[in-house]
């Protein structure tokens, strides 16, 4: 908490974030009043089998301002990741505008700040908000709020491609390991993306595993585990059972899109002057 | 990667040859010396998973359309680039040969002249273009329909129709639960959309509340915050869809105009993986450094 306070004093970015959070209040404020507040008191119903579809709200637990929620970059030794030497070198090159390694807004090289695609797994680990999941017989679509991007998970039994052309969102295949748990493997990821807001790096060898577990009718949990032998000596859990509440199907997700022209406006009016001021 | 493409092409060539042989003599043994595909045959393509993309079906008749159903993976029937619309809205090109001007009002014409596209009959060098999409601003709507419209997946739920575009991997929701468009909403790049079935095979969609910063198309046709876009999705038969886009914006245009007129699509198998195509400012910066800026300097 002390680190965070010092951060607020010397950086505008968290204030921008706070402003953003205020402009985009978390989903609970938007739903039909009687529905989501009452859900916690209602007894849920059993989970449907092989079904993670729905409009899912994680509240503000998926924002990940300090990096992957299970291991935030907050200076706590328990949250230090098992970097290889190459991983440590790559980490130094990434200059985030938040977390304990934060630099001034004008100095950050966070590609998402300038509107590069988040890619995977960052789309799960930063600004994870109300997420729509639509199931078809052979595939599952995940529709994210941030960036308004969709992603496909193939459940038709195909294998991951061998040595594919890298993509920001890679290639995903999923399999039901029991009646209520879908396990998804993703590989073929473009190494330019950051793993999270704190700038954890990854190589093209990164392999992401997501476990979507339908707890009951109204709740879903997501676990994200990363394995990248070039950057980390062992696999680590980035998201540990992020919990989602089911929203009614008529819930309209707010629009949240990165715009370089808006960023230029922000930098001109606030970011660059504030950075100049901080330097003095 | 090149090896993989060559392998895919060999597979496709084999498929084409086998198919040509089968069509030529369906009842008898395959021909011994099948001819190579004609020079005018459709370009060979692969999907995002590296698998061959099937061309438009060549049957003479098709099963009937499904009622109230436009779902599927839809591919432009005129070729993979038929919906790209580099020179502006397909029905109103600005290509220096077939230029067709939408009915601008005076303010509309003024804004149009201030928008400097990188292509078309008014195209300028990259360094002078002010097209917001070049810098990776969201396309917004209706430009998402009028520039880089490619393989498009449509899914239906009981309350909504969701369109998943290839370009920028954007999803857009159309509410079909009977709700009305919001009055005076906060503008969004993609506005607010509601749809209604007007007959068994035609979904009509209205979109308003659109952020005025976007361009309508790739050559800079402008719009105001009062623009209203109507789309008609018509399921022709089981395998074909037509997509029509009409623009109404009295501030900018003296009358409505049809920007996209029944663009035809055919149905792909649901197993087709759509290629990833996402605007990346760091890619653009790289392009500008290596090619765009030097070329612009040279052109001057």
Q: B204-249, pLDDT tens digit by residue?
A: 999 999 999 999 999 999 999 999 999 999 999 999 999 999 999 9
- Number of Cβ pairs closer than 8 Å across A and B? 101
Token digits of residue A39? 């859900």
Residues B164, A252: C-beta atoms closer than 8 Å: no
Q: What is the pLDDT of residue A12?
A: 41
Contact B271 A156 (CB under 8 A): yes
Phi, psi for A95 (deg, rounded to 5): -115, 95
The residue ranges of chain A whose pLDDT is under 70 are 1-42, 280
Cβ partners under 8 Å of residue A202, min gap 6:
A189, A191, A193, A194, A195, A226, A228, A231
Helices (runs of H) and strands (runs of E) counted in chain B: 5, 9
Q: Does residue B40 surpass a pLDDT of 70?
A: no
Residues B160-172 have pLDDT tens digits of 999 999 999 999 9
Chain A residues whose C-beta sits inside 8 Å of any chain B C-beta: 111, 114-117, 132, 134, 136-139, 141, 143, 148-152, 154, 156, 158, 161, 163-165, 167-169, 171, 192, 249-250, 252-253, 255, 257-261
The pair of structure tokens assigned to A3 is 């680190």
Chain B residues whose beta carbon lies within 8 Å of the beta carbon of residue A141: 153, 155, 162, 164, 171
Is pTM beyond 0.95? Reply is no
- Check residue B142 and give its pLDDT: 98
Q: What is the pLDDT of residue B1?
A: 45
pLDDT at residue A13 in the model:
42
Mean of all residue pLDDT scores within chain B: 87
Chain A residues with beta carbon closer than 8 angstroms to that of B132: 260-261
Listed by start position, the domains of chain A span 2-29+52-279
* Closest to A146 in 3D by CA, of A175, A116, A123: A123
Residue B247's contacts (CB-CB under 8 Å, 6 or more residues apart) are B102, B142, B216, B223, B227, B229, B253, B256, B257, B258, B259
d(CA B242, CA B66): 14
pLDDT, greater one: B16 or B238: B238
Residue A8's pLDDT is 41
Q: Which of B173, B178, B170, B214 is nearest to B196 (CA)?
A: B178
Q: ipTM strictly over 0.95?
A: no
Higher pLDDT, B11 or B140: B140
pLDDT digits (tens, 9 = 90+) for A110-127: 999 999 999 999 999 999
Question: How far is A141 from chain B, CA to nearest CA, in Å?
Answer: 9
pLDDT of residue A275: 78
Q: What pLDDT, on the 0 to 100 scale, is given for residue B33?
A: 38
Q: Tell me the angle at which helices A13-23 and A2-10 cross, rounded to the nearest 10 degrees.
A: 100
Report the residue from B171, B274, B282 with minimal CB separation from A192: B282
> What local confidence, expressed as pLDDT, does residue A4 receive?
44
A117, A156, A259 ranked by CB distance to B137: nearest? A259
pLDDT at residue number B25: 37
């Amino acid at each position: 908490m002390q680190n965070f306070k010092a951060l607020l004093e010397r950086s505008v970015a968290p204030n921008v974030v706070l402003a953003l959070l205020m402009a985009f209040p978390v989903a609970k404020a938007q739903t039909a009043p009687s529905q989501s507040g009452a859900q916690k008191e209602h007894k849920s119903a059993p989970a449907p089998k092989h079904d993670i579809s729905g409009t899912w709200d994680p509240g503000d637990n998926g924002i990940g301002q300090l990096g992957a929620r299970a291991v935030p970059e907050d200076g706590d030794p328990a949250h230090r990741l098992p970097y290889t030497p190459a991983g440590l070198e790559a980490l130094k090159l990434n200059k985030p505008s938040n977390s304990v390694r934060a630099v001034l807004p004008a100095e950050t090289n966070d590609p998402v700040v300038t509107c590069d695609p988040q890619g995977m797994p960052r789309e799960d680990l930063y600004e994870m908000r109300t997420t729509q999941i639509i199931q078809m017989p052979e595939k599952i679509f995940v529709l994210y709020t941030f960036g308004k991007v969709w992603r496909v998970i193939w459940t038709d039994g195909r294998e991951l491609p061998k040595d594919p052309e890298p993509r920001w969102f890679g290639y995903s295949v999923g399999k039901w390991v029991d009646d209520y748990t879908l396990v998804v493997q993703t590989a073929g990821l473009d190494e330019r993306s950051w793993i999270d807001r704190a700038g954890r790096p990854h190589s093209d060898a990164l392999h992401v595993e997501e476990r979507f577990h339908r707890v009951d009718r109204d709740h879903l949990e997501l676990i994200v585990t990363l394995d990248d032998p070039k950057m980390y000596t062992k696999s680590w859990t980035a998201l540990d059972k992020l919990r989602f509440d089911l929203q009614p199907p008529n819930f309209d997700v707010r629009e949240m899109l990165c715009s370089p022209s808006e960023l230029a406006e922000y930098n001109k009016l606030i970011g660059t002057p504030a950075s100049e001021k901080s330097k003095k | 990667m090149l090896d993989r493409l060559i392998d895919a092409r060999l597979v496709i060539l084999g498929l084409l040859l086998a198919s040509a042989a089968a069509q030529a003599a369906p009842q008898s043994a395959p021909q011994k010396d099948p001819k190579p595909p004609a020079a005018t045959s459709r370009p060979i393509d692969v999907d995002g998973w590296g698998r061959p993309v099937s061309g438009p079906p060549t049957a003479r008749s098709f099963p009937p359309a499904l009622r109230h159903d436009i779902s599927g993976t839809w591919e432009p029937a005129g070729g993979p680039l038929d919906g790209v619309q580099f020179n502006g809205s397909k029905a109103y090109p600005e290509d220096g040969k077939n230029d067709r001007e939408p009915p601008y009002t005076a303010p509309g014409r003024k804004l149009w002249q201030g928008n400097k596209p990188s292509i078309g009959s008014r195209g300028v060098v990259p360094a002078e273009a002010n097209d917001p999409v070049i810098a990776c601003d969201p396309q917004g709507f209706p430009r998402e329909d009028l520039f880089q419209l490619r393989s498009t997946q449509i899914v239906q739920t009981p309350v909504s129709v969701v369109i998943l575009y290839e370009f920028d991997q954007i999803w857009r929701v159309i509410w079909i639960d009977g709700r009305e468009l919001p009055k005076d909403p906060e503008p969004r790049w993609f506005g607010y959309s509601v749809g209604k079935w007007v007959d068994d095979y035609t979904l009509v969609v209205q979109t308003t509340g659109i952020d005025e910063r976007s361009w309508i198309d790739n050559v800079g046709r402008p719009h105001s915050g009062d623009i209203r876009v109507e789309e008609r999705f018509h399921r022709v038969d089981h395998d074909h869809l037509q997509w029509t886009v009409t623009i109404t914006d009295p501030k900018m245009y003296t009358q409505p105009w049809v920007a996209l007129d029944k663009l035809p699509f055919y149905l792909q198998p649901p197993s087709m993986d759509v290629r990833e195509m996402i605007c990346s400012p760091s890619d653009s910066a790289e392009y500008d450094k290596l090619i765009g800026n030097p070329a612009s300097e040279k052109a001057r």
